[in-house]
């Protein structure tokens, strides 16, 4: 029996087709993250991957990819071969840079600042901590943390700042309402708990201990592919 037939057999037991399997695999390769959100399409994608978690994890593993399931936050994240995965031992494979997301230094700096603010929010609790486990901040808090802790300013133009926020949202690191505006000082940004799986405690500590501006890599293990 060939591989396709074996996969079809296991999919049939869960009521899924090979076309649906391909769709889920492509979705994970393309975005690298799957979070069970309010919108129905993402809920269904996550739920279907959960139904065949063993199969799809093994499928990726054959090629050296790691599919990590964060049960608490209902999130799957796909890591390329050789990626450094917070909380897991190194896979000992050679890194493949072309498979990693190429991220701007602004993005990496913002992710570090958000990781700092998330930890701070957990410690302080109160109104900053939402029932979902998200930590709520205002945009000016992100700007201040970047300047004081990461020693890097925000992008200069409003357009670049807006694109940065949209990029962080696309990676499921943050969430904000459709009516969010940078000009609204009271508008809130929700930092999602999956930030803990994106920026490790050691990475954050190294950034905070740096005496000058942090030397930021423009590649990160946030996605399997871009």
Classify the C-alpha dihedral 192-198-201-206 as positive or negative: negative
DSSP-derived letter for residue 222 is T
Q: What is the set of domains in the chain, with CATH numbers?
A: 3-79 (no CATH), 102-220 (1.10.10.10)
Give per-residue pLDDT as tens, 37-77: 756 678 999 999 999 999 999 999 988 888 999 888 888 98
Q: Reply yes or no on whether the pLDDT at 160 is more than 70.
A: yes
> Tokens 């997301």, residue?
101
- Residue 119 pLDDT > 90, yes or no? yes
Query: How confident is the model over 181-218, as pLDDT tens digits?
Result: 988 988 999 999 988 877 878 888 888 887 554 544 43
Q: Would the pTM of this model clear 0.85, i.e. be above it?
A: no
CA gap 31, 27 in Å, rounded: 6
Question: Across residues 143-151, what is the average pLDDT?
Answer: 92
């Amino acid at each position: 029996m060939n591989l396709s037939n074996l996969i079809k057999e296991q999919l049939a037991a869960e009521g899924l087709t090979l076309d649906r399997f391909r769709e889920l695999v492509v979705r994970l390769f393309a975005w690298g993250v799957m979070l069970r959100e309010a919108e129905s399409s993402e809920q269904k994608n996550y739920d279907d991957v959960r139904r065949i978690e063993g199969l799809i994890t093994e499928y990726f593993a054959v090629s050296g990819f790691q599919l990590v399931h964060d049960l608490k936050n209902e999130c799957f994240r796909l890591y390329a071969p050789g990626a450094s995965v917070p909380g897991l031992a190194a896979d000992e494979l050679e890194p493949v840079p072309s498979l990693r997301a190429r991220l701007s230094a602004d993005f990496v700096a913002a992710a570090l600042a958000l990781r700092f603010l998330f930890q701070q929010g957990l410690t302080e609790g109160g109104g900053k901590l939402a029932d979902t486990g998200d930590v709520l901040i205002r945009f000016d808090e992100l700007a201040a943390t970047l300047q004081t802790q990461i020693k890097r300013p925000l992008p200069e133009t409003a357009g670049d700042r807006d694109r940065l926020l949209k990029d962080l949202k696309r990676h499921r690191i943050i969430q904000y309402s459709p009516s969010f505006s940078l000009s609204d000082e009271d508008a809130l940004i929700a930092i999602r708990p999956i930030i803990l799986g994106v920026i490790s405690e050691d990475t954050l500590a190294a950034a905070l201990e740096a005496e000058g501006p942090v030397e930021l890599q423009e590649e990160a293990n946030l996605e399997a592919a871009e």
